[in-house]
Every structure is written in structure tokens, then in C-alpha cells.
């Protein structure tokens, strides 16, 4: 297979990927699962390549894929095409955050490369995720210590 099915039928999958592509372009980063990010990355790169071509056919293809969202297409063709004019592909980056608590899915941040204002947010998201894990470990240690103290009190 040339693509991931993501547990959805064709229409649902294309709609989800188009929506995630729009979110990456507008916000310049999203938090999602690793498999979705890998699949979305293909479409984000394709949209930016269309923007770099800049012709009418490319604009119409981008509009067709992005559900006629003119605001997103204008950002692609006006802002992102100029930002990446000297770059040959590889417009996105995937940063791993760790497993999701409920189902152990690998969570990642899919972001556009060279987005200065988003670098700080990515760093803070990683710090938040690691600090939550550290807090959870400390709570486990504290509860174990309390349980040991309770056992010692009961035996005395």
C-alpha cells in the first residue's frame, strides 16, 4: 500500500487528512499521533510545493484538496511559498513527545520547519510532558513511602 488507512474509510480519511493539513498550515504545528503525522506530512509538503509553483492549476488543486478554504490557500501561495523558495522539500518536522496515557500511542508534534514563533511552544510542550511524567513518578514514590509507614505502624 502506498498510504496508511488509519482505520477509516476513504472519505473520512481524506477529510481528516485535509483538516489536519489545514491546521498545520494555519497554526504551523499540531499535536497528533505518529502515524497520522507521517501521513499528513505528505500532504503538507505537496501543498507547499503547489504554492512554490504558483500557477493557476496548482492553486486549483490546493483549493480542491483543502475544501475550498481560500484563507489557507492564500497563506500557502503568499507566505509559505516565499519562506521556502530556496528549500527543496522537507518542509515539516516531527518531534516525538512520548506515549499517550490511555492507549500508548506515540504522540508527536508535526510542525513546519523554520517557524521561529513556534519553537518556544514546542519546547514548552516537551517540558510540560516530561514534568507531568516526573510528577507522576514522585507521586508513586510518595504513596509507596506512605504505604510502608502505614504497614510499620500497624505492626507496632
pLDDT tens digit sequence for 17-48: 999 999 999 999 999 999 999 999 999 999 99
pLDDT top residue among 98 and 153:
98
Q: Let me know if residue 121 belongs to a domain.
A: no
CATH assignment at residue 67: 3.90.1030.10
DSSP class of 33: E
**What pLDDT score does 37 carry?**
93
Q: Let me know if residue 132 belongs to a domain.
A: no
As a whole number of Å, the CA-based R_g of the chain is 22
- Express each pLDDT in 44-99 by its tens digit: 999 999 999 999 999 999 999 999 999 999 999 999 999 998 989 899 999 999 99
- With contact defined as beta carbons under 8 Å apart, do 97 and 31 qualify? yes
Q: Let me know if residue 45 belongs to a domain.
A: yes
Total domains present in the chain: 1
- With contact defined as beta carbons under 8 Å apart, do 15 and 36 qualify? no
How far is Cα 95 from Cα 132, in angstroms, rounded to an integer? 18
Q: Let me know if residue 103 belongs to a domain.
A: yes
**What pLDDT score does 1 carry?**
42
Q: Let me know if residue 138 belongs to a domain.
A: no
**What pLDDT score does 132 carry?**
72
Domain range enclosing 61:
10-113
**What pLDDT score does 72 carry?**
93
pLDDT at 152 > cutoff 50: yes
Q: Let me know if residue 118 belongs to a domain.
A: no
**What pLDDT score does 84 carry?**
92
Q: Let me know if residue 96 belongs to a domain.
A: yes
Q: Let me know if residue 99 belongs to a domain.
A: yes
Amino acid at each position: 500500500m502506498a498510504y496508511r488507512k488509519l482505520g477509516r474509510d476513504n472519505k473520512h480519511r481524506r477529510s481528516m487528512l485535509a483538516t489536519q493539513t489545514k491546521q498545520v498550515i494555519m497554526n504551523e504545528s499540531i499535536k497528533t499521533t505518529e502515524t497520522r503525522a507521517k501521513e499528513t506530512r505528505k500532504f503538507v509538503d505537496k501543498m507547499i510545493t503547489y504554492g512554490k509553483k504558483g500557477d493557476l492549476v496548482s492553486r486549483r488543486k490546493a483549493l480542491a484538496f483543502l475544501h475550498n478554504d481560500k484563507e489557507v490557500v492564500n497563506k500557502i501561495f503568499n507566505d509559505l511559498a516565499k519562506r521556502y523558495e530556496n528549500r527543496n522539500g522537507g518542509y515539516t518536522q516531527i518531534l516525538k513527545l512520548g506515549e499517550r496515557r490511555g492507549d500508548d500511542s506515540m504522540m508527536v508534534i508535526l510542525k513546519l520547519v523554520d517557524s521561529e514563533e513556534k519553537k518556544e511552544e514546542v519546547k514548552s510542550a516537551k517540558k510540560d510532558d516530561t514534568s507531568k511524567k516526573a510528577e507522576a513518578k514522585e507521586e508513586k514514590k510518595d504513596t509507596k513511602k506512605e504505604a510502608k509507614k502505614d504497614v510499620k505502624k500497624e505492626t507496632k
